[in-house]
Structure 1
Amino acid sequence: MWVTSVSSLLAALALLHPALATKHDKIPSRPNVVPGPYNAGNASLPSPPRDKDRYCHVKQGCHAGRDDAPYILKALQECNNGGTVVFDKSYQIGSPLDLRFLKHIDLVITGDISFDDSDVYYWQNNSFKYTFQNQSVFWKIGGEDVNIYGDLTLEEGKSVIDGRGEAYWKAIQTDKALLRPMLFAIDGLKGGTMSNLRMRNPPNWFNVIANSSDIIISNMDLRAESLNGTKIANSDGWDTYRSDRVVIQDSYIHNTDDCVSFKPNSTNIVIQNLECIGSHGISIGSIGQYPNETDIVENLYIYNISMTNASDFARIKVWPGVQTNFQTNLAGGGGTGYVRNVTYDLLHSINNDRAITITQCYGQSNKTLCNEYPANLTIEDVTMKNIYGTTSAKLDPEAGTLVCSAPDRCNNIRVENITVKVPSGEPPVYECRNMENDLLKLTCIAESDENRDTSQG
């Protein structure tokens, strides 16, 4: 038998002499990431095996305060179109990386990647900007057929992407206008997976999936944890934006804002088998923020979610029909569009303030204004079912709120098989307004003036 390549020769020799095995043998194989039990259309696009002879190991700088971004860029350029890039050391990124040129490539992270936090204003000035909600990001990964994965069997500190968010959380205490980058952006990617990675301490959101399609995220471990008691700012797990056919599944998220949030023009998305702790819920929105813009969120299935110690769980948040100031760098209202064909199914609520939240007065504490200027954006064909567990004592005996700003703004919203309990043991009640109450299999009461949505996201 003839040996036809260097890699095949080395593999054959390694069988006889283990000491000759190459370092490639230690690289974990690409996980077989498939949606389950639900899928989002064509989210699983074919991804052919990579060339066994093309491995690019990312080099590492050798001095303190280094910037390894040029080494990363070089490795990705060399192994693009069929190769595998290996991050097996500790890397620090000190300059922005636009990596939207990738095609048919795997990125394997068994080491760790962090972002230089020595100057938060450098990143405010040099990160990639999004006009939507004044967001920015350290780096963007896009193109076609990209798989990014690590190995969660490795010890803590390996297969990690770390935003070193504490410096930004401290800075924002005195500078509310500071623009803090998101940790990771999948932007302009058609066909890709991300799996088996740890993400830590983003300055802002953990992830945005923008302008992309056919994406599967699986087996991720996300944690935002302050070392010195600093209040953590934002830290959404995943936000989808202008993206179609996305699955996010089988992951753990401990944060302080939305576990998953569907921003404008998120369509055909499945969220399943997540454990979320300390968040603001699985949230549609906020949407309707910008006048003269049309936001569409359609065809969502949210299944088998555990939510603990959160402000909300199943949540829809829409801005009112008039522009309003909310927080520094966050104002809005007056946008058009719709939320349509959404199902929340099998939700386990553990000590959350609200099990269900629907508001069309997001960002505005003046409910009289919201009633005077109803939302321009409609909500229709929504089902929330099989929700069980407990709420916190904060609103007891209230367990949620379902409020539309006018009778014609919501249609066919159904709530079924809700067995959530409140701490007092009293029958749980829900604030309802402008809803079709005969479709709500729960106890509705008149809206309370105290129930106001004030959380950002």
Structure 2
Amino acid sequence: MERRFAIPALSLLMLMSALTSNQAQARVFDINDFGAVGDGKTDNSKALSDAWNGACHSEGNSVILIPSGTYLLGPLRLIGPCNGRIAFQIKGSLKAFDSPQLGIDHWITFRYIDGLLITGGGLLDGQGSASWQHNDCQKNKDCQELPVTMRFDFVSNAWIHHVTSLNSKNFHFNLFSCQNITFEQVNITAPGESPNTDGIHMALSTNIFIQDSAIATRDDCISLGPGSENIHITGIACGPGHGISIGSLGGSPNEQPVTKVFLRNSNFTGTMNAMRIKTKAPSYQGVVSDITFQDIIVEHVDNPIIIDQQYCPSKKCSPQSSQVKISNVKFINIRGTSSSLVAVNINCSPAVPCTGIELRDINLECDGSGGKASSACANAKGAAYGTQNPPPCLEK
């Protein structure tokens, strides 16, 4: 419901309708008319770039059509601002090069665009298996960047609807400095051996809506970096993977707050975590506030509820405390099964304790371990209401 008021949905729906209407007024730029060949072997980078330039400079609404077929495509930046709204209709498959592409941060980038629709039911195939062995930054200080399947930089009023992203080399989708973006009916998949293949990552972005989508990767289904504000996530089927994460935060000075995040009506199956907030220790100062996780079902999840302010993936961190302040975090109607004995783990910073933590109607059973689910808290102040299984451990 909130999405209708946050983005110009009517304009985007009208543009989407024009794609299938016999009386469509939008100008269509079929990449085949620009020399593209959908044989899965021909490099179509120039054809798509030429089609984009034509659409971007055209007055009024435009449609870039990727018809049926498999279109090989190298790294490409599609840059605005454009003269009108653009629909990027993927009917066939776009396929990345089957090579590591080391030192390149993107496959397809949209930049400086206001009014973008990506739809069509087609496939983005990142061909990531050639790159995954090179994703070793946690142990290799000289590691190189790998391509994100689709980047959105400085994009506003966009709708990504009814597409599939498969086997990304790095993240599947990345938002930077964006506003009013909706993901809907998006399927994201990468196998268990694919490192750092977050489904959707964002930073410095506001009014982001992710809904009715399925995400199964080795890493975070959705991850929120600094400056994520007014984020609404609903109807997500997450798993396998690492769950939905806020952070890690505190790794850089002057990070913008993460605030007003709402996750509702979602399922986590076989994930490492479900609802996680993580900050580095030691860290720079930061703020996380006004977070709501509500009406969530977890099945066979290692850490259903976790706040970790001692996050240290390198295992070589100093004992200094995190300086990121976490406040007003609500967990409401969370139920299901935990694969670990500690189903609720709220480990906050002794330097800036968590405040305003709310646990309301929590019912988590331990599965397969023969034990009873428990809670563990440190430096966490708040209150518990209603059903509490396991028993709460918050300080008043």
Question: TM-score scaled by structure 2?
Answer: 0.86
Instruction: Report the residue type matching 1:114 in the other structure.
Output: K
* Aligned counterpart for 1:145 among listed residues 115, 118, 125: 115
2:52 is paired with a residue of what secondary structure? helix
- Counterparts of 1:353-368 in structure 2, within 5 Å, are 353-363=302-312
Q: Look up the match of 1:279.
A: 241
Confirm or deny: 8 A CA contact 2:204 2:256 kept in the other structure.
no
- Counterparts of 1:298-309 in structure 2, within 5 Å, are 298-309=259-270
Provide the rounded CA distance (Å) in 2 between the counterparts of 1:342 and 1:173: 32
Percent of residue pairs bearing the same amino acid type: 23
- Relative distance call for 1:367 and 1:431 in structure 2 (3 A) is farther
Cα offset for 1:44?
3.9
Q: Is residue 76 of structure 1 aligned with residue 76 of structure 2?
A: no
1:76 is paired with a residue of what secondary structure? helix
Cα offset for 1:90?
1.9
Q: Is residue 111 of structure 1 aligned with residue 59 of structure 2?
A: no
Provide the rounded CA distance (Å) in 2 between the counterparts of 1:315 and 1:285: 8
Cα offset for 1:233?
1.0
2:43 is paired with a residue of what secondary structure? coil
* Aligned counterpart for 2:356 among listed residues 398, 412, 435: 412
Q: Look up the match of 1:165.
A: 128
Cα offset for 1:306?
0.6
Provide the rounded CA distance (Å) in 2 between the counterparts of 1:173 and 1:337: 27
2:51 is paired with a residue of what secondary structure? helix
Provide the rounded CA distance (Å) in 2 between the counterparts of 1:273 and 1:150: 21
Provide the rounded CA distance (Å) in 2 between the counterparts of 1:343 and 1:109: 35
Confirm or deny: 8 A CA contact 1:40 1:246 kept in the other structure.
no
2:6 is paired with a residue of what secondary structure? coil
Provide the rounded CA distance (Å) in 1 between the counterparts of 2:98 and 2:374: 47
Provide the rounded CA distance (Å) in 2 between the counterparts of 1:42 and 1:351: 35
Cα offset for 1:45?
4.8
Instruction: Report the residue type matching 1:308 in the other structure.
Output: T
Cα offset for 1:439?
3.9
* Aligned counterpart for 1:222 among listed residues 174, 184, 188: 188
Which stretches in structure 2 are left out of the alignment for 5+ residues?
19-23
- Counterparts of 1:87-126 in structure 2, within 5 Å, are 87-88=66-67, 89-102=69-82, 103-118=84-99, 120=100, 123-125=101-103
Q: Is residue 389 of structure 1 aligned with residue 359 of structure 2?
A: no
Instruction: Report the residue type matching 1:411 in the other structure.
Output: T
Q: Look up the match of 2:377.
A: 432
Provide the rounded CA distance (Å) in 1 between the counterparts of 2:391 and 2:26: 64
CA RMSD of aligned residues (A): 2.5
Which stretches in structure 1 are left out of the alignment for 5+ residues?
1-35, 128-135, 152-158, 322-333, 447-457
Confirm or deny: 8 A CA contact 1:43 1:247 kept in the other structure.
no
Q: Is residue 240 of structure 1 aligned with residue 202 of structure 2?
A: yes
1:86-137 CA-to-partner distances (Å, cap 9, x unmatched) read: 001321112432434344111110011011123x2xx323x3xxxxxxxx22
Q: Look up the match of 2:156.
A: 190
Provide the rounded CA distance (Å) in 2 between the counterparts of 1:415 and 1:100: 45
1:138 is paired with a residue of what secondary structure? strand
Provide the rounded CA distance (Å) in 1 between the counterparts of 2:149 and 2:46: 19
Instruction: Report the residue type matching 1:91 in the other structure.
Output: Y
Q: Look up the match of 1:42.
A: 6
Confirm or deny: 8 A CA contact 1:297 1:339 kept in the other structure.
yes
Instruction: Report the residue type matching 2:71 in the other structure.
Output: Y
- Relative distance call for 1:53 and 1:222 in structure 2 (3 A) is closer
Q: Which has the higher strand share?
A: 2
Confirm or deny: 8 A CA contact 1:41 1:245 kept in the other structure.
no
Instruction: Report the residue type matching 2:64 in the other structure.
Output: V
* Aligned counterpart for 1:67 among listed residues 26, 43, 59: 43
Question: TM-score scaled by structure 1?
Answer: 0.75
2:148 is paired with a residue of what secondary structure? coil
Cα offset for 1:147?
0.5
Confirm or deny: 8 A CA contact 1:263 1:287 kept in the other structure.
yes
Q: Is residue 340 of structure 1 aligned with residue 289 of structure 2?
A: yes
Provide the rounded CA distance (Å) in 2 between the counterparts of 1:336 and 1:294: 8
Q: Is residue 443 of structure 1 aligned with residue 391 of structure 2?
A: yes
Q: Look up the match of 2:21.
A: none
Instruction: Report the residue type matching 1:297 in the other structure.
Output: V
Cα offset for 1:408?
3.4
1:77 is paired with a residue of what secondary structure? helix
Provide the rounded CA distance (Å) in 2 between the counterparts of 1:421 and 1:367: 34
Q: Look up the match of 1:376.
A: 323
Provide the rounded CA distance (Å) in 1 between the counterparts of 2:26 and 2:380: 61
Cα offset for 1:186?
1.6
Provide the rounded CA distance (Å) in 2 between the counterparts of 1:204 and 1:181: 6
Cα offset for 1:207?
0.7
- Relative distance call for 1:414 and 1:367 in structure 2 (3 A) is farther
Q: Is residue 314 of structure 1 aligned with residue 238 of structure 2?
A: no
1:204 is paired with a residue of what secondary structure? coil
Aligned residues: 369
Provide the rounded CA distance (Å) in 2 between the counterparts of 1:366 and 1:106: 46
Provide the rounded CA distance (Å) in 1 between the counterparts of 2:350 and 2:317: 12
> Which structure is larger by alpha-carbon Rg, 1 or 2?
1
